[in-house]
């Protein structure tokens, strides 16, 4: 394995390491007492699969990386499985509370990437109903959870309930058309 040591953007030295063996002492410039290091190559551990999840509400948008077994939303949700396919597409399986498993999927459709929990099929009225029910579940499962303890951040449940009310109003307008 080849390792390069840098000071900022300046390469100081390149060292070739054999597995299980240490390098000779490498002296570091700029230190008063002739500091030296030895490098060892023990093995290579492949990085974990990760996914980037975005959650938005009225207070803004939060985006973070998750790994299999990691928790988020104040430990209410756990990432059960991440499947990465070609071209940075894939699935993330999440369990949030007692509501069951949520499967998020990133697919390629034409020139647009869409993040979907479920394909929107059926009538517009049914889509509104499903969205309102999903927001109702969030308001019931996370009534006192928020992204920060600071008072300026809204509760997830409160934000979801407000969105459900707005969607209900839009739905009513659609029905009356």
Position 88 scores a pLDDT of 65
Residue 77: which residues within 8 A CB-CB, separation 6 or more? 71, 94, 95, 96, 97
| Residue 59, helix vs strand vs coil | coil
Q: Please tell me the predicted confidence (pLDDT) of residue 81.
A: 92
Nearest to 93 by CA among 152, 49, 148: 49
- Of 71, 171, 72, nearest to 131 by C-alpha is 171
Range(s) of the domain holding residue 136: 120-177
Do 68 and 114 fall into the same domain?
Answer: yes
Residue 135: inside a domain, yes or no?
A: yes
Q: Classify 105 as helix, strand or coil.
A: strand
pTM over 0.85: no
> Does any domain span residue 44?
no
Q: State the total domains in the chain.
A: 3
Cα separation, 58 vs 161, in Å, equals 11
Nearest to 100 by CA among 67, 137, 69, 127: 137
H helix runs in 28-142, sequence order: 124-141
Q: Let me know whether 167 and 155 are in one domain.
A: yes
Q: What is the mean pLDDT of each run of 10 residues along the chain (177 residues)?
A: 83 88 86 84 80 74 84 86 78 83 72 43 67 77 70 73 76 57
Report yes or no on 42 lying in a domain: no
Q: What is the model's pLDDT at position 108?
A: 57
Give the H/E segment covering residue 165. Answer: helix 156-175
| Longest CA–CA separation in the chain, Å | 81
Euclidean distance between CA atoms 139 and 127, whole angstroms? 19
Q: Are residues 23 and 68 in the same domain?
A: no
Are 132 and 107 part of one and the same domain? no
């Amino acid at each position: 394995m080849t390792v390069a040591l840098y000071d900022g953007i300046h390469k100081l030295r390149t060292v070739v390491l054999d597995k299980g063996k240490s390098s000779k002492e490498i002296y570091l410039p700029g230190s008063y007492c002739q500091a030296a290091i030895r490098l060892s190559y023990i093995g290579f551990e492949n990085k974990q699969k990760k996914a980037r999840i975005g959650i938005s509400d009225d207070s803004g948008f939060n985006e973070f990386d998750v790994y299999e077994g990691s928790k988020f939303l104040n430990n209410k949700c756990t990432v059960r499985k991440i499947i990465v396919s070609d071209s940075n597409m894939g699935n993330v399986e999440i369990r949030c509370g007692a509501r069951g498993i949520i499967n998020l999927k990133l697919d390629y459709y034409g020139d647009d990437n869409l993040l979907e929990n479920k394909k929107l099929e059926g009538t517009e009225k049914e889509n509104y109903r499903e969205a309102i029910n999903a927001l109702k579940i969030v308001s019931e499962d996370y009534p006192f959870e928020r992204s920060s303890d600071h008072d300026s951040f809204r509760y997830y449940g409160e934000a979801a309930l407000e969105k459900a009310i707005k969607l209900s109003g839009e739905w009513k307008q659609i029905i009356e058309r």
